[in-house]
Each structure stands twice: as structure tokens, then as C-alpha cells.
Amino acid sequence: MERCGGVYALCGYIDRATLEPRIDRKFEVALPFSEGLAAVRSEGKFGYINSSGDMMIAPMFDLARAFRKGHAEVVAGDKTGIIDRTGKLVLPPNYARAIPFAADAALVRPGKAIVPESFGFPRFMIGELLFERDDPRYLLVDLLSGKILKDELAIKEFDFGTFVWAAQPGDKRYGLLAPDGTWKIEPRFETVGKLHGGRAIVCYGGPAGHKGQASQRGRADTVQCGVIDRDGQTILAPQQFRIHGYRNGFYRVTEDQKAGLLDEAGRLLGGRLFDDARLPNYSGEVAKILVDGQWIGLNRAGDLVPNPEDGKALVACPSGIKFMHSGNRIQVVGADEKPTVSYLFDDTHMTCEFPVSVRYNGKWGFLKEDGKLLVDPPSFQSQFGFSGGYAGVKVDGKWGILDSSGVLTLAPQFDEMQRDSSAYAVSKDARKFWIDPSGREVAEPRRLEDRQSKLRCEPDGGQRVSGNSKGTLLWGIADAAGNIVVEPKYRAITCFRDGLAWVPFDERREWCAIDRNERKRENVACVKNWPDSNVADARTETMSDDPYESGVLWMRAELEYGLDLREKPPRFVSQF
């Protein structure tokens, strides 16, 4: 399987079982193997390697997908086609999409291909139809003759090696279409699921149903769901419920905000629906249901049994302390398997970093390494966990500081409190200031760890480094050992991703991608404001009327904050 990293964020492959390196990190992008070949990007183009790392199909494509039944979809320029295992085009690049369907057919969509985003990151890599919008229409084409077998099809994934969900023009119902253009299942389902674990969920009826359903099924808003297998054969006959998932012989179903479980035969286990229901784990024999606020078990026979998680360790610590499931709560036991305290705590996040926060009946406390309470009983309204031997605690609406021996070193007196680096940001009498654990007022922290993180790349990716040129800071990149790999000569620079870093070009007034040899990547579109373009739910604060200059100044401010040359980091402005 693929693994990426290093200063240039290059990719190679490791053994899935041993995690030992198999193919060196030398590709900008590495996709999973399929049918013995894997698509990789080298110097901006995709080709295919074998399991030894040898390039079997030379890099010549702008995007590439996995092989299926001997064929793969590739993009050349702004058009998509299909190649065989030798790299020969069996379907010329004339389409927006060209999806191999079984061994001798394809589903194609006219138009321009999905091309890399402006940042140079390859798009269609995950789901076949992940980026499709507006219900585009496809043609079913025979690869050998080029003949169009069906046109104007709306499609959804099933298994492109056998069948595909398809709806005909003017019909919102889906059927299971074979590669030769015949129907394995005639269109009749309003909602259809992707094949997963050899099963696909299908439903008909409901508000989106077609005319005439009311007379067929009594009410126009009735929904019935069933399950089919890879060959389109019925596994579970249509039921009155919505089916949401399957695992190890159980189906989870819902109706009218209630949930339940069906067995393989479609029998409603327990004879009714519950407040909630959860499937068992992948090897489990017992599912869980919520009854009167308590989770209990439900077995294959439909009998109520103990919660299958009861008695299992949620966390086991080196000291011998274990946090055990007990109903909806957590029991703490020692190395002798006996409870260390009489309380059953709320099910919150537990760790072995003692003192650890626990909650009982809405009140907070802390457990020591021996499993005993630091302060008994739990009595704090709120808290934030221990760090450096101290924790913030709230008592009667005010915040104070507790030490690791259970002593309030600073009596509760602050309206607000928040840990801030090595100090605490507090407010009292409408004044905001910083204190140390003893309560002594201190200067605002420099937040060195936060600052340094602005310069770091990935864990083994080195960091951005600066140099001074005639009184101006310029930026480059050093590897994890501190060796300079990109000389500090740019007004700003990003870390490498997929073999590319982004730098501002003043002569173009644009940010452009460079490769590890500092060559501008010509087939990747430049952008006006890289920091602003790279944030999904916020905008960077404006630092200049010129979008290009604003982005450069914003990133320079972030880098200067990392060097401790600026008091505050540059801001993001929410779009909501």
C-alpha cells in the first residue's frame, strides 16, 4: 500500500502486512494497486508501475484511475479515454468521463474531463462518481465496435465489473443494467445503494415515488426497502422499514424516528422498534438497543441479553488500572480486577495520563494512578485536565486551580479561565489578564510551540526557513536534518505537497507551483491569492487592496509569527 512523506512529500509503497518499504518514495502521487498495476505521477504526468516499481506504462496522462477488467480511465488534456494494460488507447480521449464497464463496455459522458484543481492536486481518485453534479447523463458504449447501446442514462455506482444502477430518460427509477445493455432488474427503485460486502440496499415508495404507487402500496409516502446481491438476486425481500446498514447477520432499520434490527430472514428482532439500535462489531453475535435510556444487548434469537460491551476494557493502563464498560457507565478496576472506587462514572473519554478527568452525576473529579479519586466525591462543575501538575476547576460558578495532590492552590475567583501555553488566561471584574499557577499576574505568553508549528511541515517534512537579503526576509525549505533543499529566496513559500510547493512570482503577480528542482509546473494553473484559495470555510484577512499582494503579506505575517517577530498570527475571517 502507498505511503508518502519526506521533505518533498513524495510517495512509495510499503508491505501491507509487515509495513516494510517495498518501493522507494519517488512519485508525486501514488494510487492503490489494481490488477498488478498502480497509477503514479512523476514529473507532472501519470503512468503505471508494477509491484517491483518498474514503469510499465510511461507517464503521459494528466490523470489516471485504477485498472478494472484490463482497462483504465485516463485523462489527456481536457478529455478522457480508456487504455488497456499495454497503454494502448482502446477508446480515444473524447469524453468528460469514460468508465470501464466489465471487460468490453464503457459508460461515457460527453464534454470536457474533470481536470486537476488549480492547486495541482489530482481529483478523481476516490469514488467513481464522487465529484459528479447535476445528475449528468451517460452513454453505454461497446468497446469493440464503438456502438452506442443506450444513451441518456443517469447512473449510480453498483459494481462496474458486473452491473450498474441506471435510470432511463424521463424516469427517476433505477434498475440494474448489464454491460450488453440489457436489464438484470428492470427500473423500479427510487433509491439504490452501492454494493458493499456483496449487498446493496434498494428502496421504493416515499414522496419521490412515481405515479400510481399510492394504489399499489396503500399510501404515497410508504417506503419499502430490500437487499440484493452482486448478481441482482434478492437477499432480503422488501420490508416496511428503511434499511441503513448490515453487519454480521443483522440489518439496522428505522421507522418514525425509532430503530430496530432485522435478521437475515427479515424478522424484526425483539418484535418491535426501540429508541435506537446499533449493529454488532464485525465478529459480534449481539447487537445493542437503547431502552429507557439504557443500552442492552439483543441476540440473533431476538432475546434481550446483557450489553455485549459490559465487562470489556475500554482502556487498560500500564499501572494495571482498567476502565471497564458497565451498562452506560465506566467502572474502574485495579490489577486485582476489583473496583478501586464505588462510583460508576459517565462514559467520557478516558486515558492513562493521570490524574485523568472523570464525571459522576454531572460533577467532575480526577482519578490518580492508583484508581482512587484525587478529591472524593467528584464535586467540580467543570474542569480542564491536568498539565504541568495543575488543572483548572470550576466551583460555584468561579474558576480556580487544583494541584496534583488535590489541593486548591488558587481559590475559585475568576469568571473565565483558559490554559494558554504555560500560563492561564483569566477574567475577573471585567478585566482580562494572565496568571501563573500560583495566581501571580504575568505577561501574555509568547506561545512558542504554536509559533514553531507555523514553520513546520509534515512530521518528517522539515520546515520553512528564512534568510535575510538586504534587510528583507526571504523564505526557503530545509529537510528534517536541517539541510537546505530550497534556498531562502522567495517572499513566501508553502510546504511541499504531492511533490509541489507554491511560491509567489512578482513578475506574474500570481502564486505558481514549483517542483523539487524549483521548476515551475506548467500544467498546473497559477492563482492570484494562494492562502485565500486554500481555505474552505473562511477567508484570510485583507492586507492589501491587491489580492495577490494581500495573500503574500498574509503568509509572510504567518511566517514572521513563527519566527516570534510578530505578536499575533494573521487572522481568518469566517464566511458564515
For the stretch 150-200, pLDDT in tens is: 999 999 999 999 999 999 998 989 999 999 999 999 999 999 999 998 999
Residues 228-238: what's their mean pLDDT?
94
Give the distance, in angstroms, between the CA of residue 383 and the centroid of all CA atoms in the same chain. Answer: 30
Q: Model pTM greater than 0.95?
A: no
Element (H, E) at 110: none
For residue 425, give the C-alpha cell: 488566561
Cα distances (angstroms) measured from residue 21 to each of 1, 27, 240, 289 = 10, 14, 51, 44
DSSP state of 339: B
pLDDT-derived band at 283, boundaries 50, 70, 90? confident
pLDDT at 220 over 50: no
Q: Residue 367: helix, strand or coil by DSSP?
A: strand
How many degrees, rounded to 5, is the angle at CA 397 between CA 392 and CA 401? 20
Share of the chain above pLDDT 70, in %: 93
Contact 428/415 with Cβ under 8 angstroms? yes
Residues 311-337: what's their mean pLDDT?
93
The pLDDT of residue 131 is 65
How big is the chain by its Cα radius of gyration, in Å? 30
Residue range 74-105, pLDDT digits in tens:
999 889 999 999 999 999 999 999 999 999 99
Which residues are bridge partners to 465 per DSSP?
476
pLDDT-derived band at 215, boundaries 50, 70, 90? very low
pLDDT at 212 over 50: no
The pLDDT of residue 122 is 66
Q: What is the DSSP string of 520-531?
A: B-TTS--BS-HH
For residue 35, give the C-alpha cell: 490488477
pLDDT at 218 over 50: no
Find the length of the chain: 576
Helices then strands, each counted (H, E), the chain: 4, 50
pLDDT at 214 over 50: no
pLDDT-derived band at 574, boundaries 50, 70, 90? confident
Domain residue spans in the chain?
Answer: 11-146, 199-208+223-305, 346-442, 451-574
Residues 527-553: what's their mean pLDDT?
89
Residue range 428-444, pLDDT digits in tens:
999 999 999 999 999 99
Q: What is the DSSP string of 107-143?
A: EEE-SPPPPPPTT----SSS-TTTT--S---EEEEET
Q: Which of 518, 485, 489 is nearest to 501 (CA)?
A: 518
pLDDT-derived band at 533, boundaries 50, 70, 90? confident
pLDDT at 223 over 90: no
Element (H, E) at 316: strand 313-316
The pLDDT of residue 542 is 93
pLDDT at 6 over 70: yes
pLDDT-derived band at 211, boundaries 50, 70, 90? very low
Instruction: Tell me how far apart the alpha carbons of residues 478 and 466 are, in angstroms, rounded to a whole number.
Output: 10
The pLDDT of residue 206 is 59
Residue range 450-506, pLDDT digits in tens:
999 999 998 899 999 999 998 899 999 999 999 999 999 999 999 999 999 999 999
pLDDT at 313 over 80: yes
The pLDDT of residue 480 is 94
Q: Is 446 left (phi over 0), alpha (psi -120 to 50) or beta?
A: alpha
pLDDT at 61 over 60: yes
Whether the upstream peptide bond of residue 377 has omega within 30° of 0, thus cis, is: yes
